[in-house]
Structure 1
Amino acid sequence: MLVREKGWKGKESRKRLLDAAAEEFALRGFHDTKVSTIVKQAGFTQPSFYLYFPSKEAVFEEIVQEFQSDLGELTASLRLEPGIEPEELLKRVMQALEKIFRFLVRNPHKTRIGLFLAPQAEQIKEALTAHLLENLRAEQAAGYFRSDVEMATVAECLIGMIERLTATYLLPGKKTPAELAKQVVDVLMYGMLPREKQAGQSNKWEE
């Protein structure tokens, strides 16, 4: 029982340090964050930090890797399976995007680090684009989306929208994940033209 308690306390202590470090890095940046401020935020002494992490660089790297891994796993899990009824498709696409936004706002400090501050931020977004592209191509093959649409472009557009909406609306708390997902899906699935003009414009594109 004592061994189990020590193990549990160790995990809790490590998590508190990770959370405190994420907050400090997000607010101050990597270079202006000190181990002393991390342990003060977490309520520990400085020697206790080194029981769990060899350096400031190590804890930063773990935060980035955890963010990338969790986001990748989530995105892969959102691929739409074959056999979804047409009337359910829009709802399912919206739910998938909402889950991404919910993940990003659940831990805003890690999101700020992973998407914007980390040196690997561009690689993280490129990996996320690749995950989305794989999903979109499989869903296109299942007949959910037009066969003449280039899904690589769609994936890039989605990442751009997610990145900017996260920075301008989600993290500042101006819009909810559900609101952002609805607006993104509305634009991507229906476009900007009034509904009554869409059919005519579609015919012009084909000329």
Structure 2
Amino acid sequence: MRTEEPLHPQTRRHLVNNERLRSSAIREFALHGLTGAKVSNIVANANLTQPSFYRLWASKEAAYQEIIEQTVRTWHTAAALVFESKVAWTPENLLEQLEASTFKLFRALTFDLDLTALVIRHQSNDGEDRKIYLSIYEQGFRDLQKNGVIQESFSPEVLGQAYFALTERFFYARLFTGKASPRETAHEVTLLMIRLLTDSPQSNAASS
């Protein structure tokens, strides 16, 4: 079995410094926004120098844009993974699977609350981003209907919109405010969503 060679000390140092700069930049942008952020603050809080910053990014605008774009891609991936699992979805495990997947989504969205707040401010009223999530969720519910996991009482479009609305509303009202944990919030969303997906005894038992 082939083993990976250890990183050269200089390479490892560069990676560590880059992560320190990224973390410091997130804090600075979260506190002051793009306009008020200063490269001098970013490097000072990272205990590095300005040349280190400019080796990684051409400007603070480039740093801001890269951080936002990388995070948004991560969130889109987390949304797509809602409907993927090592265990096949079935009518019997629907509630369990949906709750576990929603929990993973919420955990990804709140991995770094400073970063979350930064991206939310940047994306406020971003209709195009909303369309991406809706498309992901609609396709997921379409596949579940095709495989006989959920009923066809509602169209995939309606189910996708409902799931997006619930996850968004509960994210802001419960999770982002610190009133509930990702697991608690996922449980609440699932109990509401399950009513739209099936009329099975399982859903009735879950709501009782």
Q: Which TM-score band (shorter chain)?
A: 0.7 to 0.9
1:61 aligns with 2:60: no
Task: Label 1:156 to 1:27 Cα distance change in 2 as closer, same or farther (>3 A).
Answer: farther
Q: CA offsets per residue over residues 98-120 of structure 1, 9 Å max, x none?
A: 00001111122222233332479
Indicate how the Cα distance of structure 1 residues 15 and 80 shifts in structure 2: closer, same or farther if over 3 A, else same. Answer: closer
Q: Is the 8 A contact 1:26 1:112 kept in 2?
A: yes
The number of residues matched between the two structures is 193
The DSSP-based 3-state class of the residue aligned with 2:35 is coil
Query: 2:200 corresponds to which residue?
Result: none
Normalising by structure 1, we get a TM-score of: 0.81
Partner of 1:132: 137
Partner of 1:14: 18
Match for 1:125: what amino acid?
R
Q: Return closer, same or farther for 1:115/1:36 CA change in 2, 3 Å cut-off.
A: same
CA RMSD of aligned residues (A): 2.7
Cα shift at 1:52:
0.9
**Does the aligned pair in 1 maintain the 2:99–2:187 contact within 8 Å?**
yes
- Pairwise mapping of residues 128-207 of structure 1 onto structure 2 (< 5 A)? 128-190=133-195
Shift in Å, 1:23: 1.9
Once the 2 structures are TM-superposed, how far is the Cα of residue 21 of structure 1 from its aligned partner? 1.2
**TM-score, normalized by length of structure 2?**
0.80
Quick check: 1:26 aligned with 2:30?
Answer: yes
Using a 3 Å threshold, how does the CA distance of structure 1 residues 69 and 178 change in structure 2: closer, same or farther? same
| Distance in 2, Cα, partners of 1:111 & 1:44 | 25
Matched residues in 2 for 1:94 and 1:130: separation? 20
Out of 59-68 and 1-10, give the one that drifted further. 1-10
For residues 56-102 of structure 1, the C-alpha deviation after alignment (integer angstroms, 9 at most, x for no partner) is: 11111111111122122222233256953433111001001000001
Per-residue Cα deviation, 1:153-174 (whole angstroms, up to 9, x for no partner) = 3222322332333233223322
Gaps of 5+ in 2: 197-202
**Equivalent residues of 1:17, 1:38 under 8 A apart:** yes
Q: Tell whether the 8 Å contact from 1:74 to 1:100 is kept in structure 2 after alignment.
A: yes
Distance 1:2 1:144 in 2: 46
1:75 to 2:79 alignment: yes
The residue type equivalent to 1:86 in the other structure is: P
Contact between 1:114 and 1:124, CA under 8 Å: does it hold in 2? no
Separation of aligned partners in 1, 2:61 and 2:131: 23
Separation in structure 2 between the aligned mates of residue 2 and residue 103 of structure 1, nearest angstrom:
29
Secondary structure at the aligned position of 2:165 is classed as helix
Percent of matched pairs sharing the same residue: 25
8 Å Cα contact 1:170-1:177 kept in structure 2: yes
Q: How big is the shift at 1:139? A: 1.2
Q: Which amino acid aligns with 2:75?
A: L
Quickly say closer, same or farther: Cα 1:128–1:85, change in 2 above 3 A.
closer
The alpha-carbon distance between structure 1 residues 2 and 38, as it changes in their structure 2 partners (threshold 3 A), is same
